[in-house]
Structure 1
Amino acid sequence: MHPTVLIVEDEPSLVALLRYNLEKSGYRVEEAVDGQEAMLKVQEEKPDLVLLDWMLPQMSGLEVCRQIRRNPATRNIPIIMLTARGEEGDRVRGLDAGADDYIAKPFSPGELLARMRAVLRRIRPALAEEMLTCGDIVMDIAAHKVTRQGKEIRLGPTEFRLLRYFMEHPGRVLSRDQLLDGVWGRDVYVEQRTVDVHIRRLRKALNAETEDDPIRTVRSAGYSLEVSASGA
C-alpha cells in the first residue's frame, strides 16, 4: 500500500502545500502541529516517514527526533527535518539528533520528493521498489504477480493488497485496525472479522505447496509476516 508520511509542521499553508504534493505522488498523509501531538501520532500511526519541522510549539523538532530514536518501537522510522535554519552547524545538530536527511526552507516540492525517495530506498527499500521480497515470497507490483518458491500464486485483489501491506512491513505485528486502515482505507466501513476471512484466504493461497506458514497470528494483537518463516 501507499507509504504513510507524518507532516509535523505548524504553518498551515506549508502543510497544505505538502499534503497536496504528497497525495498527488501517492502517499498517505497524517498531520501534527506541535511536538506533543507528533509523538502521539508516531506512537499511534507508526508512519513510514516523518517530515519534521525544527521550530515547533511545546517541543522542538530536535527533541521530537531524539525521542523517536530513543524508543525501540519507533527508532527505525525515517526522519527528514525541514527548517529555515540552514547553517552547517544546524545541519550537523539535526543529523546528530538522528535525522536521516535535512532540507532547508524554502525548498521545491520536487526536491523534497526526491529526497524522500532516496531515504526510503536507503532505509525502507520495500516502499520504494516495484519488486517486494520477503523470504521465498516475491511480489511484482507492476505486473500484479506473486510467486513463492518460484511458483506463481493466484490472489484476489484484496488478498494481493493485504500481502503487499504485510511485505511492506515485514516482521511487524499489525493489528486488525491497522490492516483495515492500510488495506481497505479509513473511509470504508469494514468489520474486523473481514480481516480474518481474507487472512485465511491469503494463507490458503500461500501455503498450497508447503506447510511453512509465513503469517503468524499474535493473540490479542494481530498478525505478522515472518521473514524467517518464509525461508529467509
Structure 2
Amino acid sequence: MSGHLLLVDDEPGLREAVQAYLEDSGFTVTAVSSAQAALDYLQSEIPDLVISDIMMPQVDGYEFLESLRSESHLSHIPVIFLTARGMKRDRIQGYDAGCDAYLSKPFDPDELVAIVNNLIRRQAAARDEAEPNLASLAQQIAELRTMLVKQGGKSTTVQPIKLDLTPREESVLQLVVQGLMNKEIASQLNTSVRNIEKYVSRLFVKTGTSSRTELVRFALENNLAS
C-alpha cells in the first residue's frame, strides 16, 4: 500500500534510516526535524499519516499531538509515536494523548510498516463510508438547479456575493458543484484527498454551510458556480 507520510524526529541518523526504509516500502515520506517544522508543513499539506518522536526540544510529541487534535482539518490524521520512552506508563500516556499506535525504540521496521498499512487502510475505509453517494448527490444538485429555475431564474439574476476564496478553493468549489467526490477532485487537481478534504472544510467555514448539499445550494443561489 502507498501513501504520504510525515516523519518527525530530531535524531538525523534515525530519521534518515526510517525515511529510507519507508520509501523502500513504497511510501512517499516527508521528514522534518522538529514538531514546529511539522506544524508549519501541515498548514499547506495533509499527509495520510504522521510518525513522530516524543522527546524533542521546544515542542515535544505530546504537545505536537495536542495541536493536531485541536485542528478540525488535522484531527483525523493517524499518529504513530516512535520513541525511546517504552515504559508502560509512557505508552498509557501516549494513548491517553490520542496516538493511534506506539512503538518503542529499538523497533522492528517491518512492524512499523505493518502498522502504517493498517492505519491507512482503516482511514481509507472510514473516508469511503463518510462520503455521500455520488448518484444521490448528483440528483440533489439537479433538483436544486431545477428549483432555482422555477423561482424565476434566480440563479442567473442574483449578483454574486464576494467571498475571500483562494484560486484552489474556487477550483474545488466548482468541482463540488459538478457532483464530484473528493477522490475525483484530487485526481483532477493533481493533489491528495487529504488536501481536498481541507479545502472543502474551509469552504464550509467560509460559506456557513455544513454539508456538500448545503454548499452546492449556497453556490448556486449566489451565482458562485455555473
Which structure's residues are more often helix, by fraction? 2
Q: Distance in 2 between matches of 1:134 and 1:167?
A: 19
Q: What percent of counterpart residues are identical?
A: 35
TM-aligned CA deviation for residue 121 of structure 1: 2.1
Q: How does 1:57-136 map to 2 (within 5 A)?
A: 57-125=57-125, 135-136=133-134
Q: Distance in 2 between matches of 1:122 and 1:165?
A: 23
Q: CA deviation at 1:135?
A: 3.2
Match of 2:150 in 1: none
Please say if residues 186 and 192 of structure 2, whose CA atoms lie closer than 8 Å, have aligned partners that are also in contact: no
Pair 1:45–1:84, CA change in 2 (3 A): same
* AA matched with 2:133: G
Do the aligned partners of residues 117 and 84 (structure 1) sit closer, same or farther apart at CA in structure 2, a change above 3 Å counting? same
Q: Which runs of 4+ in 1 moved over 4 A?
A: 163-171, 226-229
Deviation for aligned residue 1:168: 4.4
TM-score under structure 1 length normalisation: 0.57
CA 1:81–1:72: 2 relative to 1, 3 Å: same
CA distance in 1, matches of 2:213, 2:87: 45
Higher relative contact order (CA 8 A, sep 6+): 2
CA root-mean-square deviation? 3.4
Shift of 1:22: 1.3
1:25 maps to 25
- Cα separation, 2, equivalents of 1:19 and 1:86: 21
Distance 1:95 1:44 in 2: 27
In the aligned structure 2, how far is the partner of 1:95 from the partner of 1:71?
Answer: 18
Q: Which has the larger radius of gyration?
A: 2
> Structure 2: which 5+ runs fail to align?
136-183, 215-226
Unaligned runs of 5+ in 1: 138-158, 176-217
**Number of the residue aligned with 2:197:** 172
Structure 1: distance between partners of 2:7 and 2:65 = 13
1:37 pairs with 2:42: no
Deviations 1:33-55 (A, max 9, x none): 11211211122211110001001
Give distance in 2, aligned partners of 1:74 and 1:160.
Answer: 19
Instruction: Choose between structure 1 and 2: higher strand proportion.
Output: 1
Displacement after TM superposition at 1:117 (Å): 1.1
Whether the 8 Å contact between 1:170 and 1:227 is mirrored in structure 2 is no
Q: How many residues align?
A: 156
State how far apart, in whole Å, the 1-side matches of 2:44 and 2:185 are. Answer: 25
Matched residue, 1:4: 4
- Residue by residue over 1:12-63, the C-alpha shift from the partner in whole angstroms, topping out at 9 and shown as x without a partner, is 1111111111111221111121121121112221111000100112111111
Distance 1:167 1:48, change over 3 A: closer
- 1-structure distance, mates of 2:92, 2:74: 22
Q: Distance in 2 between matches of 1:42 and 1:90?
A: 26
Per-residue CA shift, 1:146-166, capped at 9, x if unaligned? xxxxxxxxxxxxx99826977
Structure 1 residues 12 and 161: alpha-carbon distance in aligned structure 2, compared to 1, 3 A threshold: same
Q: Measure, in 2, the Cα distance between the counterparts of 1:125 and 1:163.
A: 22
Give the residue type in structure 2 aligned to 1:57: P
